[in-house]
Amino acid sequence: MFPNVRFWEKIYGTYTENQGVLHDKSDLDRVYRVINLLPKNTPGADEINKKLIETVQSRIQDMLRKFAAGAAPQTTEELQIHALFKEKNPVVFLAAIDNMRVQTGLKNRFLEGVIRSGAYMPAIKRILRTQELPQELAYLPHVESSFNPAAYSKAGAVGLWQFTSYTGKDFMLINDLVDERYDIYAAANAAALFLKENYRQLGAWPLALTAYNHGRGGMVRAQREWGTYPLIFANYTGKTFGFASKNFYSEFVAAYRVARRLENDPTVIRERPLISASVRLTSYASAPELRQYFGVSEEEFRSLNPALRSPVLEGKKYIPPEVVIHLPATHFVRERIRTMPASLFRSSQLSDIVLAKPKSQRRRSSSVKKVAAVSVRQFRSTRTSGKKIAGCLGKAKPVARKKTARKR
């Protein structure tokens, strides 16, 4: 595991987004080349970088084929690549050809995440203390989202803790009106509960953290087969236990180490802790009315309550009961929270507004339904023999002509 931690420490703390690290998937100490890439915002950068990586990878693969055939290294580059292998046998060289991977550096993105983390870290650590969990777990969002509260993955995972809707619904309110995965406090509490249950079932933090990525069921199966995390790491080959799952705990340890170094760097100024006054609603309430009562602008209210969706923010629907809203932590707001009047609350949700059709459309819709009903009754009254069906169609023609004649 330690070579993997060293590798990820360099990805987070040394290599930038304009560098691609070509390495072996299984042995992360085996780094073939660090490739300098064009910045992503350069026109045509994706295609140019792709060809550059393919060129370097192809050249090194050719070297490995030569070594597998028994050829000795000749050039300086060949000597460097050859030295990366402890075992100099054809089987090892051939296996390495198809086991390459490129990892882009994350130094700049990671630094930005450390700066952002200053706003959220105190609240997250407080929640972890409440759940009697290790404070180090507060650094997990560095791996998941780089502490970007608006992060969204292709798999549909969102927020600092990257919960999918499927998993998140076990711990948070997620529907068309509220998505608490975007709420810093609700999501942190959900992550704490999730990790706590992982640890209860698996009994070790490396397994509990890997289960955060791989799934608890998958890690239970791995534990049954191999027992401890070191043995699972070295030997488990479950179908879905791929590179990401195998490296997740190593990434976490590396992220913790790099983040702690940056936190102690006096040149890194982190964001100030986010402070807000919070209130849990006891019944339905209107967001516009709450804004007005507390004297909060629409923009600030939206920023403090990212879990609230558009229908609620626009007043088309009420905020549901038990939802916690966040407000500026001023003396005025705190006094207003203490004296909230009953008139702010509603006993039920607003019903959906259904727009009525114009009269002309209603008459037309009604006539179409009648014609359709007559057609269905006529069809059902006939038998399914070919003659009867043909007869039915034959009788329909004069009716159509008579109706046309009357229109004229």
* One-letter-per-residue 3-state SS of the chain: CHHHHHHHHHHHHCCCCCEEEEEECCCCCCEEEEEECCCCCCCCHHHHHHHHHHHHHHHHHHHHHHHHCCCCCCCHHHHHHHHCCCCCCHHHHHHHHCCEEEEECCHHHHHHHHHHHHHHHHHHHHHHHHCCCCHHHHHCHHHHCCCCCCCECCCCCECCCCECHHHHCCCCCECCCEEHHHCHHHHHHHHHHHHHHHHHHHCCHHHHHHHHHHCHHHHHHHHHHHCCHHHHHHHCCCCCCCHHHHHHHHHHHHHHHHHHHHHCCCCCCCCCCCCEEEEECCCEECHHHHHHHHCCCHHHHHHHCCCECHHHHCCCCCECCCCEEEEECCHHHHHHHHCCCHHHEECCCCCCCCCCCCHHHHHHHHHHHHHHHHHHHHHHHCCCCHHHHHHHHHHHHHHHHHHHHHHC
Q: What pLDDT is attached to residue 386?
A: 40
Catalytic residue among 144, 197, 251, 335: 144
- Count of C-beta atoms within a 10 Å radius of residue 230: 11
Q: What pLDDT is attached to residue 1?
A: 87
Q: Which two tokens stand for residue 44?
A: 């045509």
| CA angle 272–256–26, rounded 5-degree value | 145
Q: Would you list the domain boundaries of the chain?
A: 18-104, 108-263, 282-346, 361-407
Q: Which two tokens stand for residue 74?
A: 């000749």
* Buried-state track 255-280, b at ≥16 Cβ within 10 A, e below 16: bbbbbeebeeeeeeeeeeebeebebe
Q: Which two tokens stand for residue 55?
A: 């060129």
Q: For every one of its 408 residues, what pLDDT tens digit does the chain have, with 9 covering 90 and above? A: 899 999 999 999 999 999 999 999 999 999 999 999 999 999 999 999 999 999 999 999 999 999 999 999 999 999 999 999 999 999 999 999 999 999 999 999 999 999 999 999 999 999 999 999 999 999 999 999 999 999 999 989 999 999 999 999 999 999 999 999 999 999 999 999 999 999 999 999 999 999 999 999 999 999 999 999 999 999 999 989 999 999 999 999 999 999 999 999 999 999 999 999 999 999 999 999 999 999 999 999 999 999 999 999 999 999 999 999 999 999 999 999 999 999 999 999 998 865 555 555 555 544 444 434 434 444 344 344 443 333 333 333 333 333 333 333
CA–CA distance, 110 with 143 (Å, rounded to integer): 9
Q: Cβ distance 285 to 342 under 8 Å?
A: no
Q: Cβ distance 142 to 255 under 8 Å?
A: yes
| CA angle 34–38–44, rounded 5-degree value | 135
CA–CA distance, 248 with 214 (Å, rounded to integer): 9
State which CATH number among 1.10.530.10, 1.10.3720.10, 3.40.50.1820, 3.60.15.10 fits the domain covering 108-263.
Answer: 1.10.530.10
Q: Which two tokens stand for residue 375?
A: 């057609």
Q: Would residue 335 show up in a list of annotated catalytic residues for this protein? A: no
Q: What pLDDT is attached to residue 352?
A: 80
pTM assigned to the model: 0.82
Residue 281 to residues 311, 318, 326, 329, 344: CA-CA distances in angstroms?
A: 17, 11, 11, 17, 10
* Buried-state track 166-197, b at ≥16 Cβ within 10 A, e below 16: ebbeebbbbeebbbbbbbbbbbbbbbbbbbbe
Contacts of 272 (CB under 8 A, 6+ apart): 118, 119
CA–CA distance, 145 with 155 (Å, rounded to integer): 13
Q: What pLDDT is attached to residue 399?
A: 35
CA–CA distance, 316 with 174 (Å, rounded to integer): 18
Q: Cβ distance 280 to 248 under 8 Å?
A: no
